[in-house]
Chains A and B, each alone.
Chain A
Amino acid sequence: EVQLVESGGDIIQPGGSLTLSCAASGFTFSNYAMGWVRQAPGKGLEWVSDISATGADTYYADSVKGRFIISRDNSKETLHLEMKSLRTDDTAIYYCARLVGEGYWGQGTLVTVSS
């Protein structure tokens, strides 16, 4: 059974930093591109970032480019999202997801950016 389990969500002040992690299991992690999708309270889904299966290629939404860094450790089957210079509009549930082809989602982790 495919499982994606996020962690690291927290309440953080504007300008702060936070790193999210996603532990994957139930599939060959190193064969798949992975990504992060967020959902602000009461809003729709917004793609944030993707990383290729090897980690060689990364992609970012304009809204986070230059502030967020996606990475992966295939030996540990984990995905990370390092978030810097956080803003109030980054407040959202962040989902780890495998979106290309047969898709799977984690349960999400809440990031609240507030003073």
Chain B
Amino acid sequence: DIQMTQSPPSVSASVGDRVTITCRASQGIHSYLAWFQQKPGRAPKTLIFGASILQSGVPSKFSGSGSGTEFTLTISTLQPEDSATYFCQQYNFYPLTFGGGTKLEIE
């Protein structure tokens, strides 16, 4: 199974800051990677697929990059509503696997 290692597990930032979350795959997955945002008590929401393709309706403050084994999600100009847990997921191979999540807190 492909292991998805996300870092950091948690991060605290201020309004207006930019943060970067990293996801590392245990083997190459080309660009078959998605990023999700989940707020407490809510279903996950897709932000990025294909490593860098912005889901329709998602603000351009979210961006993704990477291919192979190293991927990043960058969130710019942080606002209080960006406070959430972010997950990565590979869909190149079964079983599909998720990263452990990164909890983003906005100070």
Contact = CB atoms under 8 A, between A and B. Distances in A.
Interface of A: 35, 37, 44-47, 50, 59-62, 95, 97, 99-108
A102 B98 contact: no
Interface residues of B, number: 23
Contacts of A97: 44
B64 interface: no
Contact of A50 (B89, B94, B98): B94
Interface of B: 34, 36, 38, 43-46, 49-50, 53, 55-56, 87, 89, 91, 94-101
Of B50, B55, B95, B98, the most chain A CB neighbours within 10 A belong to: B95
Contacts of B97: 47
A101 B48 CA distance: 9
B34 A103 contact: yes
A90 to B, nearest CB: 16
B95 A103 contact: no
B45 A105 contact: yes
11 contacts: A44-B87, A45-B38, A45-B87, A45-B89, A61-B95, A99-B34, A101-B49, A103-B34, A103-B36, A105-B44, A105-B46
